[in-house]
Chains A and B, each alone.
Chain A
């Protein structure tokens, strides 16, 4: 019986493999054909973890492709990175043109500030969707001096203001499939709108690797690449260290709201962090890159006996937890004071650096988590983004 099942399974996997090869061959030939019309690509920027974008190098320009994981709409999301004054090469009429090095940037999320900061060009940000929550000292100073202004987000975006600012690029964060129409006016007005879908990446290093796109925009690829390599190296070393840990402390994540509890899926960004930090996580085998909606009742058995409670949302003090709901006080991490939130670097205007520089510094976030879950492995590390709630 089992052998028969296995045989069937084998056959199915061969078929799947066959389809995969066939389609990948097809894609390959398709690409070759399109390239033949153009000058040949001279190489690719090495992207190791991120799945959302690619950069092809050509002789006089680079081609950025933003891949939409939900729909095959890559044709609308191609960008030519051209030096000032260079003519637009033929065959790329559909691609938006970004003149490099980009001198002025409008960003729409904290992550865009962090990427610019990482590349050393935070001073080039002249506009942001929302001026609240900024952490970067350079950007905050520019806001104070009036060099960086608020342009509004999504539906409330001030198109006239943006058009008058002539930014080198506007970085959008919405899902390109859904949000395209909102930016049509700007694109028609000659402002390149670049979609950053780093938040769709399912690994911390993948999310951080989007700095390479920023590097290409401002022509600082080498510095950025080097910096990223060191981030990667540190991250890997830490993950290996945690792999050797003797225990797997059980954690619960997040804060329930009115009877439902959203927990990160095992295949998500946070799920990966937990695995690399050597945490025991009940939902580590769940698929999906987002979070799963559970009811309070199905998380409660785990919460009652877990070792740690991380990422508690908008909670600053231990005392605020029973204020949310007195039932949470029965959880074991609450009783043992093993409560850690990512609010160590919240500034006076409420900006949380975890959401900003944390995105491009996954190695520090990981170090924090290892320090929390396995203090003996990193005895000298001082928590940077995380903070114990008291």
Chain B
């Protein structure tokens, strides 16, 4: 509980040479990770061929073309979008609530999306409901995504409405967690009364997946994430001011109320959108801001925002590579990998730095 610690020490807000170097290094790593993610997989495709496919040159094997274009590139793009969006919104939540354990899911938005998905998946038994939905012309994956969006938006509306009335951030945090708990228990109740096969479908969804987003879905996810991230970047200044304490921020002429609503809106958009398409992906949102703070040794959001984007994306791509277990035919759920790989990395970063600034 120390996110309010004012910027201590020297030079913590400037773009020093060291930081620019870090950022450039991360960008390079990101590029390499992206290419590696596209090259590695169960089916061995030589890098030369991947390169040719990437630049729409002639390839000998149409299967390879399909795998790279239709499976690996969409998956890598989804990893980039999800990694970036989740880390940025995690950073926002940690600052807004001055809580180092906050993440995109603290407001209950993720649970809201889950509730939407549960409603669709577990009500498959009642044919009448399903028939009505089919008549509307929505089916398959869109149905699930739509439901998740409606669920997330519903909870978001609730949270934003409440946040407009409550002036205390800690209270807001508690209310967010409580809303999440209510939603979770409704989900549990529903699972309890559903047949095992349907519950299994839902369980698979909760494992999270980057491989199910393709085609037009990817464009929509991209638009949602870009809007969310742009709002985040624009709110860097607000967040910096909030770090100094609400009273201070107010004295600087900031309407904290409006700042809070903006921040909550962008986080809801990111968390809701990404959960709708990829399922609930944990850990990244909580861990990446800490890694960024440790690496860049600052709490200025003008530096942390791009840093979170890069680190989050990098981590997600890396986790995706591991989840694919190159040379094997199976795939691990992404949620397992993010925590399994991410948590030790975070612990290592903390131990090395020995002090986590501004957490």
Contact = CB atoms under 8 A, between A and B. Distances in A.
Interface of A: 130, 132, 153-156, 257-260, 292-298, 300-301, 304-305, 314, 320, 323-327, 330, 349-350
A327 B196 CA distance: 29
Nearest to A331: B66
Interface in B118-155: 124-125, 127, 139-142
Interface stretch (B210-218, B262-270, B291-299, B305-313): B210-218
A258 B329 CA distance: 15
Query: What secondary structure prevails in chain B residues at the interface with A?
Result: helix
Given A153-B195, A259-B210, A350-B127, A326 B331 contact: no
A260 B331 contact: yes
Contact of A330 (B66, B196, B216, B329): B66
Nearest to B139: A323
Contacts of B177: none
B212 A259 contact: yes
A349 B127 contact: yes
B62 interface: yes
A327 B140 CA distance: 13
Contact of B211 (A154, A296, A304, A314): A296
Given A153-B195, A297-B67, 15 more contacts: A132-B125, A156-B192, A258-B204, A258-B211, A260-B204, A295-B324, A296-B71, A297-B324, A301-B43, A304-B63, A323-B142, A325-B140, A325-B141, A325-B214, A327-B215
Contacts of A295: 41-42, 211, 324, 329-331
B209 interface: yes
Contacts of B330: 292-295
Contacts of B192: 155-156
Contacts of B201: 257
Contacts of B90: none
A304 B66 contact: yes
B193 interface: yes
B72 interface: yes
B70 interface: yes
5 contacts: A153-B196, A260-B209, A296-B211, A300-B43, A323-B142
B70 A330 contact: yes
A326 B42 contact: no
A323 to B, nearest CB: 4
B279 interface: yes
Nearest to A322: B140
Given A298-B42, A314-B124, A323 B66 contact: no
Contacts of A305: 63
B205 interface: yes
Given A298-B42, A300-B63, A260 B211 contact: yes
A314 B140 CA distance: 10
Interface in B312-344: 324, 329-331
A350 B196 CA distance: 17
B75 interface: yes
Nearest to A152: B193
A35 B57 CA distance: 76
Interface residues of B, number: 37
A258 B43 contact: no
Nearest to B324: A295
B70 A327 contact: yes
Nearest to B212: A258
Given A295-B211, A324-B141, A327-B215, A257 B70 contact: no
A293 B209 CA distance: 14
Closest 4 CB pairs of A and B: A259-B211, A258-B212, A323-B140, A295-B331
Nearest to B130: A350
Contacts of B124: 314
Contacts of B215: 325-327
Contact of A324 (B43, B72, B140, B279): B140
A324 B144 CA distance: 10
A304 B195 CA distance: 34
Contact of A298 (B43, B142, B196): B43
A292 B329 CA distance: 10
Contacts of A349: 127
Given A298-B329, A327-B70, A330-B70, A350 B125 contact: yes
Contact of B209 (A156, A259, A292, A326): A259
B72 A297 contact: yes
A75 B205 CA distance: 39
Interface in B250-285: 279
A62 B34 CA distance: 66
B209 A258 contact: yes
Contacts of A300: 43, 63, 66-67, 70-71
Interface in B49-70: 62-63, 66-67, 70
A189 B296 CA distance: 67
B102 to A, nearest CB: 28
Given A258-B205, A296-B71, A304-B66, A327 B212 contact: no
Interface in B224-270: none
Contacts of A156: 192-193
A130 B193 CA distance: 11
A30 to B, nearest CB: 37
A130 B209 CA distance: 32
A155 to B, nearest CB: 7
Contacts of B127: 349-350
B67 to A, nearest CB: 6
A154 B197 CA distance: 13
B325 to A, nearest CB: 8
A297 B139 contact: no
A307 B279 CA distance: 33
A294 B324 CA distance: 10
Contacts of A294: 42, 329-331
A27 B211 CA distance: 51
A368 to B, nearest CB: 23
A320 B139 contact: yes
Contacts of B196: 153-154
A258 B279 contact: yes
A259 B329 CA distance: 12
Nearest to B205: A258
Nearest to B72: A297
Nearest to A293: B330
A195 to B, nearest CB: 16
